[in-house]
Amino acid sequence: MSAIAQKKGFGSVLWDWLTTVDHKKIAILYLASGGFFFIVGGIEAMLIRIQLAVPGNDFLSAGLYNEILTMHGTTMIFLAAMPILFGYMNAVVPLQIGARDVAFPFLNSLGFWLFFFGGIFLNLSWFMGGAPDAGWTSYASLSLYSPGNGIDFYALGLQVSGAGTYIAGINFLVTIINMRAPGMTYMRMPLFTWTTFVASALILFAFPPLTIGLFFLIFDRMFGANFFDHTMGGNTIIWEHLFWIFGHPEVYILILPAFGIFSEIFAIFSRKRLFGYSAMVFATVLIGFLGFMVWAHHMFTVGLGPTANAIFAVATMAIAVPTGVKIFNWLLTIWGGSIKVTTPMLYALGFIPSFVAGGVTGVMQAAAPLDYQLHDSYFIVAHFHYVIVGGVVLAILAGLHLYWPLMFNQMLDEKLGKITFWLFFFGFHATFFIQHFLGLMGMPRRVFTFVGDQGWDAFNAISSGGAVFMALGVIVLVVNIVKTVVQNKPAGTDPWEDGRTLEWAIPQPVPFYNFKRTPLVRGLDTFWIEKQEGNKEGMTYAEPLSDIHMPNNSFIPFVMSLGLFIASFGALYNGEKTWAVPVLVIGLAITVISMGVRSWKDDHGYHIHKEDLMDDKGGKY
Amino acid sequence: MAEEIKYTPQTWPEHPETANLEGKNKFLGFWLFLGGETVLFASLFATYLALKDKGPEGMTFTTQSLFSEGLPLVFLMTMLLLTSSLTSVYAMYHMKNFNFRGMQTWMAITVLLGLGFLALEIYEFYHYVHIGFYFSQSAFSSAFFTLVGTHGLHVVIGLGWIILLMLRNAKRGLSVYNAQKYYTASLYWHFIDVVWVFIFTVVYLMGVMG
């Protein structure tokens, strides 16, 4: 079974993508579908800003505005930001730690397809009676009484895609713990691997509460349960707790990998070892730990009492300490470095002031008494867009430029990349900076329109104008991608010339088995060490050339996910349509049977023989 | 291929479940999965405690009125499940000693005990529904059936898993390839048992004590 370039028809190419268990291909699947949902969420954002550009606008109706607002948040968090980061993790982490693949290639594929079908299911709501309209937080007091099936699409879609995320989290944890190359000790792991590790641990413990909360919502809305209905003894605050026990770690699940990407960028383009490596690792772990201690700061105004509010306020402020450690370490990495201002570096430099601004407003809201003033105002909107766009999205765009040559063996155009950066960066600040003041002036969030002459008109117009620049930036990026793909100029190994870690040492295009021989890691920034010592190959090997064990492709993950997708329709229409229960049963049966088939059929994988490796074009040594 | 090596009791590794990288990965991954499951059940327990005895105005069901009478039955269920956990340990003991028949026998006993537990639980649920304490009756009933029912679903999945393993491997004997599978199934079974100990304590004993 040799996979050396053969001419394939469309059918077999499609089949290959549907059945692949290769982490590099799954990375591309994540990136492509995450990118698609990013565009969808971006269009929704533009519709929001058009509606709010002038007072008393009737571009969108109130109901439609609620749906678009909800879907913007849900799509961006669950279907755009997380999957794109998963794409980078899949593409980079196994190469960074010197592994042939992730620990569970089959589960990797399953995780992707679950996410994909969940996302499709959620977005089908647009065409099947209306999207969810209770905000991305979907508080039960609101969502229980939302007419139509919108909330049901939300609950079921997130349940399916959440299962995929959970599986991916376990997979990365095991990969990083068990699959590191010889010499890759924990304290030699690159920062992106470290942040992936901690983010995966957060996924492991944060997603089960969401699963339970969503099940309660599903049961309450579709199966007659009473968890949140106070007339039946239920308690709507339970949803808020479960949601935020998930929701707060979730923002760290997003931002920690972003920190990891920036840590790589600062070291590469300052051509210096990352300053304070061990402090960075410690700060990452501490942020992950504290991330679970602060969920009630989203609920200061619920009335949990002064004691609870005080404890959560202090815990929240404490997170600023490890985050500050990171900021200073990045600054000191740049300090005295031989800086190359490439597109990724530009994003990283832009990230620091933007994210600090978001962090400062975060500490302001952590003060519970002040939060009573800020709660549910545009100040909050400004804050979380500063941390999520100024942190996560800038990291995603930086990572796209940084890792594109690794994933596709092509360089994105630097000039267009810089144009994208400046358009996006200017647009971002123009859109959101002014929203702080709108919030302080009393404009509530989530309103579909506002009355003129309250002093909000000009600020809202400026905010909407800024959004246009962000959209232009993304359009230039799409042009850049199309241009790069059409030109298809090979970038080669170590395209940035200053790569420090193993992923840059591997020959391009990356062979499907990754490393012909497992590398030996001789220190932090092992590729840098090899280059300093004049090693042309860029790697020292830990083993002689031998047979490589590879997993087989499988179509089962696709079928398993499809089963849950079908079952979701059954659950959705339970009690409304006569075919609902049979469809639910059939869908679940498809999933269970495919699990049985997976269990019953032996899957030993196959071996690439070392004789085949010697004349392979994948690597010349 | 390595997976098809015929082992003898002498060559059988001391820890067959982690004898190769795949086994090590499964072992660790499954423990992590159980960590997530713990949080899952913790969320259910917290919800149950918050909604215990809560219902529409005038609801007469309380934990005392529901669970006092049937406590001996629930105790019997507890014993069945605890014993089944012990028998799965015997099965693992025989696995480590390369005694395939011993392992299959004790796994079969585990399954029988698990089925006994499941039958009694179905009877219990049937009884509650019969006296009007059904899933959508109140917040209390929803929380109770979801917590205990999620555990019951885990038992069903565990039983299906073990039965499938036993049937699949009945004619194949032990190998490093399937030893991992038996081992993780037995880990899962222990986890189900531990969760039940908490359910027995928090739902039934604390319910009856008030």
Percent of chain A with pLDDT over 70: 98
Residue in B28, B32, B140 nearest the CB of A233: B140
pLDDT digits 0-9 by tens, B77-129: 999 999 999 999 999 999 999 999 999 999 999 999 999 999 999 999 999 99
Residue pair A152/A262 in contact (Cβ under 8 Å)? The answer is no
> Would you say residue A377 has pLDDT above 90?
yes
Q: Is B159 on the interface with A (CB under 8 A)?
A: no
Q: What is the distance between the alpha carbons of residues A76 and A396, in angstroms, rounded to a whole number?
A: 12
Residue A453: left (phi > 0), alpha (psi -120 to 50), or beta?
left
Q: How confident is the model at residue A1 (pLDDT cuts 50, 70, 90)?
A: very low
Chain B partners within 8 Å of A231 (Cβ): 56
Q: List helix spans (H) across A271-377.
A: 277-290, 306-334, 343-366, 368-374
Q: Do B59 and A238 touch (CB under 8 A)?
A: no
Nearest CA-CA partner of A113 in A551, A562, A584, A554? A562
pLDDT digits 0-9 by tens, B102-112: 999 999 999 99
Q: Do B35 and A600 touch (CB under 8 A)?
A: no
Q: Do A233 and B56 touch (CB under 8 A)?
A: yes
Interface test with B, best of A101, A171, A172, A174 (most B CBs within 10 A): A174
Q: Which domain holds residue A411?
A: 10-554+603-614
Q: Do B36 and A204 touch (CB under 8 A)?
A: yes
DSSP A360-404: HHHHHHHSHHHHHHHTTBHHHHHHHHHHIIIIIIHHHHHHHHHHH
Interface test with A, best of B21, B43, B167, B171 (most A CBs within 10 A): B43
Distance between B85 CA and the closest CA of chain A, angstroms:
23
Predicted pLDDT at B160: 94
Count Cβ atoms below 10 Å from residue B73 Cβ, excluding itself: 15
Predicted pLDDT at A621: 41
Interface test with B, best of A216, A226, A240 (most B CBs within 10 A): A226
Distance between B16 CA and the closest CA of chain A, angstroms:
17
Distance between A207 CA and the closest CA of chain B, angstroms:
8
Residue A22: left (phi > 0), alpha (psi -120 to 50), or beta?
beta
Residue in A208, A229, A231 nearest the CB of B43: A208
Predicted pLDDT at A575: 82
Chain B partners within 8 Å of A215 (Cβ): 146
Residue in A174, A205, A233 nearest the CB of B36: A205
Residue pair B19/B179 in contact (Cβ under 8 Å)? The answer is yes
Residues β-bridged to residue A520: A540
Residue pair A132/A149 in contact (Cβ under 8 Å)? The answer is no
Predicted pLDDT at A615: 56
Chain A partners within 8 Å of B165 (Cβ): 599
The residue of chain A with its CA nearest to that of B176 is: A604
Domain count, chain A: 1
Interface test with B, best of A232, A550, A574 (most B CBs within 10 A): A232
Q: Does any domain span residue A197?
A: yes
Residues 3-42 of B with CB under 8 A from A: 3, 21, 24-25, 28-29, 32-33, 35-37, 39-40
Once rounded to an integer, what is the mean pLDDT over residues A291-310?
A: 93
| Amino acid, res. B175 | S
Q: Do B139 and A229 touch (CB under 8 A)?
A: yes
Predicted pLDDT at A620: 42
Interface test with A, best of B18, B32, B144 (most A CBs within 10 A): B32
pLDDT digits 0-9 by tens, A12-38: 899 999 999 999 999 999 999 999 999
Once rounded to an integer, what is the mean pLDDT over residues A48-74?
A: 95
Residues β-bridged to residue A539: none
What is the maximal distance between C-alpha atoms in chain B?
Answer: 69
Mean per-residue pLDDT pooled into runs of 10, chain B (210 residues): 67 85 92 96 96 91 90 95 96 92 95 96 95 93 96 96 93 88 95 96 90
C-alpha A61, offset from chain centre: 31
Q: What is the distance between the alpha carbons of residues A79 and A85, in angstroms, rounded to a whole number?
A: 11
Residue pair A366/A313 in contact (Cβ under 8 Å)? The answer is yes
Chain B partners within 8 Å of A207 (Cβ): 36
Residue, of A8 and B209, whose pLDDT is higher: B209
Q: Do A233 and B165 touch (CB under 8 A)?
A: no
Q: Is B139 on the interface with A (CB under 8 A)?
A: yes
Percent of chain A with pLDDT over 90: 85
pLDDT digits 0-9 by tens, A75-127: 999 999 999 999 999 999 999 999 989 999 999 999 999 999 999 999 999 99
Q: Do A599 and B44 touch (CB under 8 A)?
A: no
Q: Do B139 and A232 touch (CB under 8 A)?
A: yes
Residue in A179, A208, A596 nearest the CB of B40: A208
The residue of chain A with its CA nearest to that of B169 is: A600
The residue of chain B with its CA nearest to that of A202 is: B36
Q: How confident is the model at residue A461 (pLDDT cuts 50, 70, 90)?
A: very high
Q: Do B146 and A204 touch (CB under 8 A)?
A: no
Predicted pLDDT at A516: 87
Q: Do B36 and A178 touch (CB under 8 A)?
A: no
Q: Is B179 on the interface with A (CB under 8 A)?
A: no
Chain B partners within 8 Å of A607 (Cβ): 1
Q: What is the distance between the alpha carbons of residues A137 and A143, in angstroms, rounded to a whole number?
A: 9
Domain residue ranges in chain B? 70-210
Once rounded to an integer, what is the mean pLDDT over residues A471-483?
A: 96
Once rounded to an integer, what is the mean pLDDT over residues A49-55?
A: 95
The residue of chain A with its CA nearest to that of B44 is: A212
Chain A partners within 8 Å of B37 (Cβ): 208
Q: What is the distance between the alpha carbons of residues A239 and A135, in angstroms, rounded to a whole number?
A: 14
Residue in B35, B161, B181 nearest the CB of A204: B35
Q: Is A94 on the interface with B (CB under 8 A)?
A: no
Residues 74-133 of B with CB under 8 A from A: none
φ, ψ (nearest 5 deg) of residue A606: -145, 170
Q: Is A78 on the interface with B (CB under 8 A)?
A: no
The residue of chain B with its CA nearest to that of A215 is: B146
Count Cβ atoms below 10 Å from residue A2 Cβ, excluding itself: 9
Count Cβ atoms below 10 Å from residue A485 Cβ, excluding itself: 11
Domain of residue A274, CATH code: 1.20.210.10
Predicted pLDDT at A619: 45
Residues 174-233 of A with CB under 8 A from B: 174, 177-179, 204-205, 207-209, 211-213, 215-216, 219-220, 223-227, 229, 231-233
pLDDT digits 0-9 by tens, A551-603: 899 999 999 999 999 999 999 998 888 999 999 999 999 999 999 999 888 88
Chain A partners within 8 Å of B36 (Cβ): 166, 170, 204-205, 207-208
Q: Do B36 and A207 touch (CB under 8 A)?
A: yes
CATH code of domain B70-210: 1.20.120.80
Q: Is A606 on the interface with B (CB under 8 A)?
A: no
* Burial of residue A317, with CB atoms counted within 10 A of its CB: 0-12 exposed, 13-18 middle, 19 or more buried: middle
Residue in A220, A226, A604 nearest the CB of B3: A604
Nearest CA-CA partner of A28 in A6, A9, A13, A47? A13
DSSP B37-74: HHHHHHHHHHHHHHHTT--STT----HHHHHTTTHHHH
Residue pair A513/A1 in contact (Cβ under 8 Å)? The answer is no
ipTM over 0.90: yes
Once rounded to an integer, what is the mean pLDDT over residues A212-231?
A: 94
pLDDT digits 0-9 by tens, A382-423: 999 999 999 999 999 999 999 999 999 999 999 999 999 999
Run of H or E including A418? helix A414-440
User: Across the A/B interface, how many CB contacts are shorter than 8 Å?
Assistant: 112
Q: Do B47 and A604 touch (CB under 8 A)?
A: no
